[in-house]
Structure 1
Amino acid sequence: MSRPLLLSSLLAVAVISAGSLLAEPFTVTAKPVTVWKSVYGSVEARDRIPARSRIGGTLVELSVNEGDLVTAGQEIARIVDDKLDFQLAAIAAQREALSAQLANAEVDLKRGEDLLKNGVTTTQRVDALRTQVDVLKGQIAALVAQADVVTQQAKEGVVLAPVAGRVLDVPVTKGAVLMPGEIVAVVGGGGTYLRLAVPERHATALDAGDKIRITEGGEDREGTLARVYPLIEGGRVTADVEIDGLPDSFVGKRMLISLPVAEREALLVPETTLVTRAGLDFVGLKTPEGVALRSIVPGETHVIDGIPMVEVVTGLAAGDVVLPASEATHAAEVGHE
């Protein structure tokens, strides 16, 4: 048997089984139902990292706005400090002066070595000239390293995105003067999750791994309670919820969440046993005298094993036998005639 045909056969068997269950008399029993607590959760970015300026200066370029998508390492701004160019010019002038002194010192050293060979000068004098050459070379090397530092500082004027994600905030504008460490943009990345603030009286009922319901666009979705934080602030417990496909278009967006906080006993009847007349709800009750319609007050609807079950607030007791709506209506009409 092919896979599609096998799945169709299994589905048909399940539908027939559910239909036969609803077509038979149903004995009312108390069953545990989950108590759901509705709270609001806010969409949060998993990583919320600021892109900061590493040098002070003027913001000459700003290539991102709030809501833009960026990649890790992407250039988002550029800061220029004019003093760095002046420092490089000063270092270059000092290096030229030392280079001239070094050339003169090397000539003196060469002359001194020639004189030493002819016995005209002393070894001490030549060593002093050689030391002077080494000192000038060291000073030039120090200036080169200093120039590299200033050049690196100038390169650090480029502000890069710390992570891939969406730009959440840009608190500066082009032309602003920034100090080192100031925030240029805040980038949210690493995906999103829901953060909840639950009243502390429900804290003991929350466990990591619990399934929760999320209402979005009129449809219910399922998520998982990933973490419950131990710190209670302002009478509320903070918890995180993981959900696949959560959009990051609006970080901070509020969404309605239903959390399982307790269980209670309730009397449930299949939804197909309810009969509505003149705005009142009835069920067909099987009694020793026959079938009688009894008025009930229905409550919430719970889906149990794929079957919609209506909670009966009042009107029935455990052990009562109710009939499908069609059979109860027919029996009541025959009795009325």
Structure 2
Amino acid sequence: MPLLRALLLTTFALPALAEPVAPTTITEWKAVYGTVEARDRIPARARLGGTLVELSVTEGDEVTAGQELARIVDDKLDFQRAALAAQSKALSAQLANAESDLKRGEELLANGVTTTQRVDALRTQVDVLKGQIAALDAQSQVIDQQSREGVVLAPVAGRVLDVPVTEGAVAMPGEVVAVVGGGGTYLRIAVPERHAASLAEGDRIRLSNGMGDREGTLARVYPLIEGGRVVADVEVEGLPDTHIGARMLVRLPVGEREALLVPASAISTRAGLDFVGLRTAGGTALRAIIPGEAHEVDGVAMVEVISGLVAGDDVVPAAEVSHD
């Protein structure tokens, strides 16, 4: 205690410069965790039911839009195609016979041996067979299109987030084969509802991803509050998409308050206590303080003083305080 009393009461020669302490408006920050989300999270679905015979991607692979991800085969389509081919072949034979009958009928009609009604019936039979063959060809094209739909394509360019199926499994129409995340990434945060009124689109936020502090912009605040929390999206330039769902610490501005700030260089530590030099009527004296959070004002490192100073105190730079 004698040492502490001596440090508190020691006076020094009056320094040439002193900085009066004045209240400064600072921003209050709320620390929350944000989750990295893909802007577009689209499932690649099977359009054809069948067996998954080929799966060419896995979780984490980068894909381009339209890239083949998997191939599904339905064996029944081959049998249907073969049945249509056989029917078409039979109808083609009937058509050839009907065209021969029509040709003979037209010759007989020209010689006056047969009637016009008989020739018209033969011509109608030829047209009917041609229509039936055309219908079979259309059905065959439908089957060919169904076979092509067995190829599952990437809906967007991005990274494969999930592959819930395995090669050899049976896939149903509409079943998800892979989930692709694309279109970039953003942070989604959930903030307690008491801070909802203080959030505004365009606010600058701070975040840390383990690689140094970064800044982002509050892009959207959703109006629906669920579970006592309001959801918001944060745009961050260059946010990686290697780990969708990763959590990052985010600091949001939720208000302002008045505080006394002193330059960090004006604080000295002795015997485990923090002091600042003050100009008094009798000279320069050390005063014990309780420091708070660090801030940066116009590029100068400042420290909030919780206790020990009042507005109007003249702070002396630590370099100008004697350490005797």
**How many angstroms apart in 1 are the aligned matches of 2:105 and 2:300?**
108
Moved over 6 A (4+): none
**How many angstroms apart in 2 are the aligned matches of 1:27 and 1:218?**
38
**How many angstroms apart in 2 are the aligned matches of 1:251 and 1:139?**
55
Give matches, 1:255-266, under 5 Å: 255-266=248-259
**Which of 156, 160, 165 is residue 158 of structure 2 equivalent to?**
165
**Which of 59, 69, 80 is residue 76 of structure 1 equivalent to?**
69
**How many angstroms apart in 1 are the aligned matches of 2:26 and 2:108?**
109
Query: How far 1:317 moved relative to its partner?
Result: 0.5
- Name the counterpart of 1:126: 119
Determine if the alignment matches structure 1 residue 244 to structure 2 residue 225: no
3-state SS of 1:329 partner: coil
3-state SS of 2:269 partner: strand
**How many angstroms apart in 2 are the aligned matches of 1:24 and 1:153?**
86
- Name the counterpart of 1:40: 33
**How many angstroms apart in 1 are the aligned matches of 2:126 and 2:199?**
77
TM-score calculated relative to the size of structure 2: 0.94
**Which of 8, 17, 25 is residue 24 of structure 1 equivalent to?**
17
Query: How far 1:244 moved relative to its partner?
Result: 1.1
**How many angstroms apart in 2 are the aligned matches of 1:327 and 1:157?**
80
Query: How far 1:218 moved relative to its partner?
Result: 5.4
Q: Which has the higher contact order (CA 8 A, sep 6+)?
A: 2
Q: Over residues 53-88 of structure 1, what are the superposed CA-to-partner deviations in whole Å (9 max), with x where a residue is unaligned?
A: 000000000010111111111111000000000000
Query: How far 1:329 moved relative to its partner?
Result: 2.6
Give matches, 1:296-307, under 5 Å: 296-307=289-300
- Name the counterpart of 2:209: 216
Contact 1:48 1:187 in 2 (8 A): yes
Query: How far 1:327 moved relative to its partner?
Result: 1.5
- Name the counterpart of 1:12: none
Query: How far 1:328 moved relative to its partner?
Result: 2.3
- Name the counterpart of 2:189: 196
- Name the counterpart of 1:142: 135
Query: How far 1:25 moved relative to its partner?
Result: 1.1
- Name the counterpart of 2:11: none
**Which of 157, 162, 173 is residue 180 of structure 1 equivalent to?**
173
Determine if the alignment matches structure 1 residue 283 to structure 2 residue 276: yes
Query: How far 1:140 moved relative to its partner?
Result: 0.4
- Name the counterpart of 2:88: 95
Q: Over residues 20-49 of structure 1, what are the superposed CA-to-partner deviations in whole Å (9 max), with x where a residue is unaligned?
A: xxx931110001011000000000000000
TM-score calculated relative to the size of structure 1: 0.90
**Which of 44, 55, 66 is residue 51 of structure 1 equivalent to?**
44
**How many angstroms apart in 2 are the aligned matches of 1:218 and 1:141?**
66
Unaligned stretches of 5+ in structure 1? 1-22
**How many angstroms apart in 2 are the aligned matches of 1:111 and 1:216?**
88
Contact 1:215 1:257 in 2 (8 A): yes
Contact 1:58 1:176 in 2 (8 A): yes
Determine if the alignment matches structure 1 residue 105 to structure 2 residue 92: no
Q: Over residues 206-255 of structure 1, what are the superposed CA-to-partner deviations in whole Å (9 max), with x where a residue is unaligned?
A: 11111100112152111111111111111111101111111111100000
Identical columns (%): 74
Unaligned stretches of 5+ in structure 2? 1-15
Contact 1:284 1:329 in 2 (8 A): no
Query: How far 1:326 moved relative to its partner?
Result: 1.9
3-state SS of 2:322 partner: helix
Q: Over residues 253-301 of structure 1, what are the superposed CA-to-partner deviations in whole Å (9 max), with x where a residue is unaligned?
A: 0000000000000011111111211010111111111111111111111
Amino acid at match of 1:35: E
Amino acid at match of 1:115: L
3-state SS of 1:54 partner: coil
Say how many residue pairs are matched: 309
